[in-house]
Chains A and B, each alone.
Chain A
């Protein structure tokens, strides 16, 4: 019955709220990147274990831009096409710190739960 990790249905959905963390971390590590690049990077890092509905990335990027965590600029892509590049801002770095801490806290809490049940 147990699904193997090769089963596409076993891919974990990107948790609500963690997308911001993933995007900010990606931009911090790789510098300016277009939406497709961010999506690919998230999928690569997660070794395709994480199922990202790529479309959901764009409203999230917009929101982050509105919050001034990232900025965007039109430029030429690696294959010389017009693309919108996103980069992290100072506020974005602060937000990344907050989100990371939140995630750590959450993980520790969940760990404790699982540990206590074991």
Chain B
């Protein structure tokens, strides 16, 4: 309370410095005059009276100095002094102040926006993106993985309790409504929802038989698509639609808010064809998603996958030599190794923006300094000239 009230009083006096200085003069002058008049009444000469008054007072200038030090912020108050210095300088230079304030305001505003957008889109992902720190994304370091390699990984791994492969594609969907709609779809291996730990809200999950060529085609919808296209009609389960022209049965709807991996509307099982089962077909899959087994870590999973990859390269040198499995976390997979750089550059930009008034400041104070130096210089020159002419 006391510190605060002293601070407040000093801040006031800073803002009203000239007035405070005048008042101090008035007050001290009043004191001295009273003393002088009293002394004269006691019979002193005016000169004696004045001398006695100043003696009793004891140092007018030192009193003023002490008074000012107490009134204003002083060097002993470190940070306070800096603040005051800055405030004074800013007050003395409104143009600079305006530019600095606008720069900082824009910088902070823009950065806050970029930060928020980047954070929500890239780092947290859109609300529909499914993520979990137990889920890892697997590809090959030089590209995507082939279906047979995925099968081998799946069979050999101990670090993952489940693995599923996905391949994204746009699908043309038409139904009794007659409206053809292009939807974001995903071909998946049938244990995808098991790996993700999700169960349908309505209907049945995929079964392994759904992968086999020749079994009736089926599809599962997101809640959002079900709501949008079918008005949440539960009767849609079991109905047949055409996907890419092929009659397909809708077997399930997933829970609200869930999609995978991004904003898919519909999932269909991968149908195994001789083409997909070629070891050199690396266009079959987007990526593999794996759920870590209990006790496994990102690290142990990586080292296990590397050794599995080396074994595959030895077994299938023609197709697999030089291809190494790559294990990524959600952010590494979707943002890439640039994640740190993106974050770093956001911070860097912010710092840059905050420090941008500094050079302006330096320039404006240099100008002020050189202004006074020029005056000194010309005064010195005239003095020298005067001296020289005097000498002559």
Contacts and interface: CB of A to CB of B under 8 A. Distances in A.
A55 B54 CA distance: 9
Interface stretch (A17-25, A63-71, A97-105, A108-116): A63-71
Contacts of A58: 24, 27-28, 63, 67
Chain A interface mostly: helix
The number of chain A residues touching the other chain, given as a range, is 20 to 34
Given A55-B57, A68-B5, A39 B70 contact: no
B359 to A, nearest CB: 38
A54 B57 contact: yes
B7 to A, nearest CB: 9
Interface residues of B, number: 29
A4 interface: no
Contacts of B23: 74, 84
A68 B70 CA distance: 14
Contact of B27 (A35, A40, A56): A35
Q: Which of A35, A59, A74 has the most CB of B within 10 A?
A: A59
B64 to A, nearest CB: 8
Contact of A82 (B2, B26, B56): B26
A53 B58 contact: yes
A36 B31 contact: yes
Given A39-B31, A67-B2, A55 B62 contact: yes
B37 to A, nearest CB: 8
Contacts of B62: 55
B66 interface: yes
6 contacts: A36-B30, A56-B66, A59-B63, A59-B70, A65-B9, A82-B30
Given A54-B58, A77-B34, A84-B26, 19 more contacts: A34-B31, A36-B30, A53-B56, A54-B31, A54-B57, A55-B57, A55-B63, A56-B58, A59-B66, A59-B69, A62-B70, A63-B70, A66-B6, A66-B70, A67-B2, A67-B5, A79-B37, A84-B23, A84-B27
